[in-house]
Amino acid sequence: MTGHSSWVPGAAGSGHDVDHLPYGVFAHHDDDPRVGVRIGDFVLDLAPVGASDMVPETDTFAAPTLEPLMAAGRSAWSSVRDWLTALLYDPSERTAVEPHLLPLSEVRLLLPFPVADYVDFYCSLEHATNVGLMFRPDSEPLLPNWRYLPVGYHGRAGTVVSSGTPIRRPCGQRKAPSDAAPTYGPSRRLDFEAELGFVVGTPSRLGVAVPVADFSDHVFGVTLLNDWSARDIQAWEYVPLGPFLGKSFATSISPWVTPLAALSTAWAPLPGQSPEPLPYLQVAEPAGLDIDVAVRCNGSVVSRPPYRSMYWSPAQMLAHLTVNGASLRTGDLFASGTISGAELGQRGSLLELSWGGRDPIRLDDGSTRTFLEDGDEVTLSATAPGARGGRLRLGQVTGRILPADDP
């Protein structure tokens, strides 16, 4: 199907052709926010399209959230995607559809769905090893459980924010190993973490595990995710119950959710798992995703983390998350953990890029960074193979650091 492009001007080769079609929620002038789909540099306003006789009638898109669409389930996702593809591919639909295209520059993009529960995993062998070396220098970097299960924890759902939301530098307790006692103040080691987030559409029942094979029935799509982290707060607080205030001040996600169906040709083999996982975690290959991420700080590329290097697969995360019978809700979000490859330029956090602050990195303007400074803007972007050749461009996620609000 290579070369079959939308009639929408500029869509061909943009990473936002008919093989992508990510969903988002937008506001246009003073109208109520509603659901749109991206094509080229336009948003197709889906509420009037869904109410028209162009397609099977639906009011799924009049909501200020993707939640009704997400809750509609896999067969609904599939038929909506089919009719959207037809409308945006077939030139004979142009006259009817074009009035509902809005230039991206004229809309504000909002948080695409209210997050129910947010779980963050720790799926990169390289990231877990790097953090272990820095946080626990006197012991084995990789803990004994790491190769047996995708380690994860719950984060704060209420502070998941949309791309563009400014990030206030958090205050809290910090204590360097050499300090006698902690002090209160703004974090001095503010960091990003480049991650992929998986968005649950179809819920599951309490007490019933979701097997790896059912991944695509439950997962609606994918976002980029920046798990902002205050390393000094985190290092002091995290034993024994895990990260808390070092992470809970903000987590940014992209405004566009790429449907899982758009990634059908992006699956790639996992790097290899040893020992063999327990049966409930065994997956058919290819189980990984060939997604290339780029991290920019003030426009300078500081890292290019490769998602295909991740040890644990998305379906393994979901199966593990529910193996104890924990139920899923529409709007649950689970993230991969920091994506770090084996090379220096592939590490997905400043903690790893600067090796805990020891080795500053250089930006294009000649300035250096160990951790983030006030005013810094961090942007994650990513591409994945599209089903019609070329690469899809996943929705960017960006955020700028505001100074601490310290009394």
Active site residues: 127
Whether the Cβ atoms of residue 200 and residue 260 lie closer than 8 Å to each other: no
Nearer to a second copy, 51 or 142 (CB): 142
For residue 82, the minimal CB distance to a second copy (Å) is 31
Measure the CA–CA gap between 212 and 301, rounded to whole angstroms.
35
Cis peptide bond upstream of 275, omega within 30: yes
Burial classification of residue 276, based on how many CB atoms lie within 10 Å of its CB (0-12 exposed, 13-18 middle, 19 or more buried): exposed
Q: In Å, how far are 50, 100, 102, 219, 363 from 28, measured between CA atoms?
A: 17, 12, 9, 28, 36
Q: Note the helical H segments in 104-190.
A: 125-135
Q: Where are the beta strands (DSSP E) in 231-385?
A: 251-253, 258-259, 267-268, 288-289, 292-297, 300-303, 333-335, 361-362, 368-369, 377-385
CB of 333 to a second copy, least distance (A): 12
To a second copy, the closest distance from the beta carbon of 61 in angstroms equals 24
Closer residue to a second copy (CB): 278 or 344: 278
Closest to a second copy by CB, 61 vs 249, is 249
Question: Using CA atoms, how far apart are residues 226 and 272, in angstroms rounded to an integer?
Answer: 26
- What is the C-alpha to C-alpha distance for residues 325 and 323, in angstroms, rounded to an integer? 5
* Least spacing, CB of residue 319 vs a second copy, in Å: 11
Give yes or no for a contact between 39 and 11, defined as CB atoms under 8 angstroms apart: yes
Interatomic CA distance for residues 153 and 161, integer angstroms: 19
Minimum separation from the CB atom of position 25 to a second copy (A):
18
Smaller CB distance to a second copy: residue 39 or 319? 319
**CA separation for the pair 38, 81 (Å, rounded):** 12
> H helices within 229-313, ranges in order?
231-237
| Residue 66: strand, helix, or coil | coil
Shortest CB 119 distance to a second copy, Å: 8
Which residue, 119 or 261, has its beta carbon nearer to a second copy? 119
Backbone angles phi, psi at 383, to 5 degrees: -130, 155
Distance CA 35, CA 80 (A): 13
Whole-number Å distance between alpha carbons of 400 and 40: 26
List residues near a second copy by CB under 8 A: 116-117, 119, 122, 132, 135-136, 143, 145, 148-149, 151-159, 161, 168, 170-173, 175, 181-184, 206-209, 230, 233, 236-246, 248-250, 275, 278-280, 320-321, 323-329, 332, 402, 405
Closest approach of a second copy to the CB of residue 19, in Å: 33
Q: Which is nearer to a second copy, 21 or 199 (CB)?
A: 199
- Are 317 and 150 in contact by the 8 Å Cβ rule? The answer is yes
Q: Which is nearer to a second copy, 11 or 235 (CB)?
A: 235
